């Protein structure tokens, strides 16, 4: 009797179609990103990068330089803290206008959300460059840039968090005659307080990295010192700056974790609703904000004066109308395609590397590697990868991949650890090896979370890919940097509009993909 034919995999056809479709889509993107792995092993490039890395040793330890380094480190921390304080002041009223909670007339809601899209859609480095042109070099530009971009981010997330909690208490307060602000304050905020505080602390941690990046365009701090060291090819100083920044990031991570744990600790059962931890956290935050503004010595009276407003108005007027000529739009279109390619290729390479680094094994050395990768901003990585593979989009894709691998590796490790253990255990009991148990037992359970993390990171990477060109990594950033350097503001306006449109399009595409994969 003939043996029955084995059952076919019902998903084989869809998997084949999906694989072929991915190849068709990714091939031109890899071409646009100018991916040439062979350049990493080119003898000339290896010699250049070898000399560059050798120049990092030994790090500079002169007393005078260490004094500059200490001040730049404190300036970076102060810029991040002051910028977050300004962002919070902007975010609270904007989140109130953006949320639909307790609102009978939602007319302002779409208008406010559009404003938030513009604020967070334009990278903070672009805002910093604009403010440096208006107010000159210094930390004021960095604080204002962080305030605008992170104000938009905080307001959007604050509104989403408030809208996600149970609205029944707020409705009850409204029906009893309370105003909308009081209904939100007493009906919704207590439920969302921990999540709001946790996200704010996380954003402060991100602001420290962003403040370093903005220093590359003259907004003060470690980034400005690093830019000077790189331009002077002073590897010893660059090494000391990188070490200082990594220590600052590790310290910020630790402090951020302590703050989140303190905020998550319920207050003791006592008449006062606030425990000593909450009071200590509040005092630390308030003291840090006051100390930051005093240290930076920013004259906000001058920034908000009539002369400053006139300067800003004249500067902004130069951006209108944008250059919409066919020739320039063609160049911007090529920049958009290159930027999109850099973001996708960099994110995909990071996803592969992050998954390999997140596999179950002794965690300590790999955790340190992940922290090191993500502690260095993409712009710093881009200055290094440009030496390894030359100027162009491939350097940008590699820089994104290195930084994002550290971010995704940490998130992937948490997702894999939280995946259901029963499928993998069942496969091992049936005789499967650890590799097969992971591939068919653990990975499918964690896949939705892994994909969601990857798509969220792609949304952030498209903004970063748009500014990596500031150090010669191609895309829209390179176009913008050249046009601003030449004072061609009408052309720069078109590039900024393209950055904003691309950011919005990627956000929408990512949200659509996440919904389809639920």
Structure tokens at 60: 């500079």
In a domain, 19, yes or no: no
Q: What is the mean pLDDT of residues 195-214?
A: 82
pLDDT (0 to 100) of residue 10: 57
Same domain, 375 and 453: yes
Which has the minimum average pLDDT: 47-51, 336-340, 370-374?
47-51
Q: Which residue has the higher pLDDT, 176 or 13?
A: 176
Contact 145, 83 (CB under 8 A): yes
In a domain, 394, yes or no: yes
**The residue to which tokens 């255990």 are assigned:** 425
Same domain, 111 and 216: yes
Same domain, 220 and 363: no
Instruction: Provide the sign of the torsion angle of the four alpha carbons 55, 61, 67, 69, taken in this order.
Output: positive
Q: Residue 494 to residues 17, 28, 456, 497, 500: CA-CA distances in angstroms?
A: 38, 25, 26, 5, 10
Q: Which residue has the higher pLDDT, 494 or 442?
A: 494
**Per-residue pLDDT band at 127 (split at 50, 70, 90):** confident
277 has a pLDDT exceeding 80: no
Average pLDDT, the chain: 80
Same domain, 239 and 330: no
Same domain, 187 and 73: yes
In a domain, 231, yes or no: yes
Same domain, 37 and 62: no
132 has a pLDDT exceeding 80: yes
pLDDT (0 to 100) of residue 517: 67
Same domain, 49 and 131: no
Query: Residue 298: which CATH number?
Result: 1.10.3720.10
pLDDT (0 to 100) of residue 504: 84
> To the nearest whole percent, how much of the chain has pLDDT over 70?
86
Contact 361, 236 (CB under 8 A): no
400 has a pLDDT exceeding 70: yes
> To the nearest whole percent, how much of the chain has pLDDT over 90?
9
Which has the minimum average pLDDT: 121-125, 139-143, 299-303?
299-303
pLDDT (0 to 100) of residue 282: 66
Alpha-carbon span 216 to 225, nearest angstrom: 8
Alpha-carbon span 432 to 238, nearest angstrom: 50
Structure tokens at 438: 């992971």
467 has a pLDDT exceeding 60: yes
pLDDT (0 to 100) of residue 272: 44
Structure tokens at 176: 């009893």
136 has a pLDDT exceeding 70: yes
pLDDT (0 to 100) of residue 330: 92
Give residue 98's domain range: 56-267+274-302
Same domain, 289 and 328: no
Alpha-carbon span 380 to 372, nearest angstrom: 12
Q: Which residue has the higher pLDDT, 153 or 295?
A: 153
Q: What is the mean pLDDT of residues 118-130?
A: 83
pLDDT (0 to 100) of residue 329: 93
Same domain, 86 and 221: yes
| CB-based contacts of 57, cutoff 8 Å, min separation 6 | 235, 236, 239
In a domain, 316, yes or no: no
In a domain, 7, yes or no: no
- Indicate the SS3 state at residue 419: coil
**Per-residue pLDDT band at 284 (split at 50, 70, 90):** low
309-319 residue pLDDT tens: 777 777 778 88
Same domain, 296 and 415: no
pTM of the model: 0.79
pLDDT (0 to 100) of residue 347: 93
**Per-residue pLDDT band at 174 (split at 50, 70, 90):** confident
Same domain, 399 and 293: no
Q: Which residue, among 474, 495, 475, 471, has the nearest Cα to 484 in the 3D structure?
A: 495
In a domain, 115, yes or no: yes
331-365 residue pLDDT tens: 999 999 999 999 999 999 999 998 888 876 656 66
Alpha-carbon span 281 to 265, nearest angstrom: 12
pLDDT (0 to 100) of residue 8: 56
Q: Residue 93 to residues 87, 97, 245, 380: CA-CA distances in angstroms?
A: 11, 6, 33, 35
Q: What is the mean pLDDT of residues 219-236?
A: 81
Alpha-carbon span 497 to 329, nearest angstrom: 11
Q: What is the mean pLDDT of residues 101-125?
A: 71
In a domain, 224, yes or no: yes
Same domain, 170 and 293: yes
pLDDT (0 to 100) of residue 270: 47
- Indicate the SS3 state at residue 225: helix
Domain total of the chain: 2
In a domain, 1, yes or no: no
**Per-residue pLDDT band at 405 (split at 50, 70, 90):** very high
Q: Which residue has the higher pLDDT, 419 or 148?
A: 148
């Amino acid at each position: 009797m003939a043996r029955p034919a084995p059952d076919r995999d019902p998903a084989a056809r869809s998997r084949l179609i999906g694989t072929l479709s991915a190849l068709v889509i990714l091939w031109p993107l890899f071409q646009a990103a100018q991916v040439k792995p062979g350049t990493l092993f080119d003898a000339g490039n290896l010699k250049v990068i070898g000399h560059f890395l050798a120049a990092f040793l030994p790090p500079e330890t002169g007393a005078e330089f260490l004094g500059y380094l200490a001040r730049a480190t404190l300036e970076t921390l102060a810029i991040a803290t002051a910028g977050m304080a300004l962002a919070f002041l902007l975010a609270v009223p904007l989140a109130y206008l953006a949320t639909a909670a307790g609102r009978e007339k939602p007319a302002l809601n779409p208008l406010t959300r559009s404003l938030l899209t513009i604020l967070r859609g334009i990278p903070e480095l672009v805002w910093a460059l604009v403010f440096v042109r208006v107010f000159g070099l210094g930390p004021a530009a960095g604080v204002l840039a962080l305030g605008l971009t992170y104000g938009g981010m905080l307001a959007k997330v604050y509104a989403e968090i408030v809208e996600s909690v149970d609205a029944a208490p707020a409705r009850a307060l409204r029906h009893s005659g309370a105003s909308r602000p009081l209904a939100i304050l007493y009906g919704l905020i207590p439920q969302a307080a921990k999540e709001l505080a946790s996200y704010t602390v996380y954003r402060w941690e991100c602001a420290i990295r962003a403040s370093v990046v903005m220093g590359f365009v003259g907004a003060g701090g470690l980034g400005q010192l690093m830019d000077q060291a790189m331009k002077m090819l002073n590897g010893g100083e660059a090494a000391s700056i990188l070490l200082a920044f990594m220590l600052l990031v590790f310290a910020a991570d630790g402090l951020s974790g302590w703050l989140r744990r303190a905020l998550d600790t319920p207050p003791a059962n006592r008449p006062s609703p606030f425990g000593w931890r909450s009071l200590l956290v509040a005092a630390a935050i308030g003291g840090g904000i006051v100390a930051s503004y005093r240290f930076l010595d920013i004259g906000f009276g001058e920034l908000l004066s009539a002369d400053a407003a006139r300067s800003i108005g004249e500067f902004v007027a130069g951006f209108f109308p944008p250059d919409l000529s066919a020739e320039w739009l063609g160049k911007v279109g090529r920049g958009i395609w290159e930027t999109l390619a850099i973001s996708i290729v960099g994110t995909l390479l990071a996803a592969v590397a992050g998954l390999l680094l997140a596999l179950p094994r002794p965690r300590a050395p790999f955790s340190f590697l992940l922290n090191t990768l993500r502690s260095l901003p993409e712009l710093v990585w881009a200055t290094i990868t440009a030496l390894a593979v030359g100027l162009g989009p491939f350097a940008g894709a590699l820089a994104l991949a290195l930084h994002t691998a550290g971010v995704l590796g940490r998130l992937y490790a948490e997702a894999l650890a939280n995946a259901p253990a029963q499928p993998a255990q069942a496969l091992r009991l049936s005789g499967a090896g650890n590799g097969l148990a992971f591939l068919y037992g653990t990975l499918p359970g964690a896949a939705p979370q892994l994909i969601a993390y990857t798509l969220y990171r792609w949304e952030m990477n498209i903004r970063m890919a748009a500014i990596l060109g500031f150090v010669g990594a191609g895309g829209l950033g390179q176009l913008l940097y050249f046009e601003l350097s030449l004072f061609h503001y009408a052309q720069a306006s078109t590039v900024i509009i393209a950055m904003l449109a691309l950011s919005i399009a990627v956000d929408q595409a990512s949200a659509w993909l996440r919904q389809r994969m639920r």
